[in-house]
Structure formats: C-alpha cells, structure tokens
Amino acid sequence: MKLPPELVEVLVLSFMNLGTVLAGFMVGRYADQAQKIVVGAFASGVGGIMFAGLLRALGLVEVHARLIAGVFIVSFLLGFVWTWIGYITRKRA
C-alpha cells in the first residue's frame, strides 16, 4: 500500500518536529495534575505548527499551507505522548 505524498510530508514534519517534543515534555514536567496532559498536548500541537512554519519561512522545507492542519493533528497526538512522558518523569513535590 502506497501512501499519498501529502500524508508522508505531514508525518515526517510531525514525527521529526523539535517543537512538538520540547513543548510537550516541558509542559508535562511542570504539570501538577494529570488533567493538564491534554493542555500540554494542545501546546505541543501549536509548537509543532510554529516549528513547521519556521522551517517554511527559512526555506528549509516546502510545506503547503493546507498541510498545516494535518501537522497540528499529528503533533497533538504525539504531544499527548510526550506530555505524558514528561509528567511521569517529573520530580514529585
């Protein structure tokens, strides 16, 4: 089964996105309640599209504007995982 090129581009931009990883992990480290994992996932999605936009503005990648929504969704899902990892590895007070 061959994936469409747009889907491959969204997945690559989301999985190799430093903004998603940093935003999710750092919010998870400072979260004091498990419910804030969802907030961290949203912050990761926003961080992911900001990082993808920065790469596009610098001319490092050629991203179509219509793919940004897909990058947000995949970054949100990955951010959920990274926020949870940050939450379970945080220092207990």
**Per-domain residue ranges of the chain:** 13-88
Residue 3: per-residue pLDDT:
81
| Residue 93 reports pLDDT greater than 70 | no
| Residue 81 reports pLDDT greater than 90 | yes
**Pairwise CA distance, residues 17 & 38, whole Å:** 19
Provide the percentage of residues in the chain whose pLDDT is more than 90. Answer: 46
Whole-structure pTM value: 0.85
How long, in residues, is the chain? 93
Long-range pairs for 60-68: beta carbons < 8 A, 24 or more residues apart:
61/13, 63/9, 63/13, 64/6, 67/6, 67/9, 67/10, 67/13
**Pairwise CA distance, residues 42 & 93, whole Å:** 25
| Residue 52 reports pLDDT greater than 70 | yes
Label residue 35 by pLDDT band (50, 70, 90).
very high
Backbone angles phi, psi at 67, to 5 degrees: -85, -10
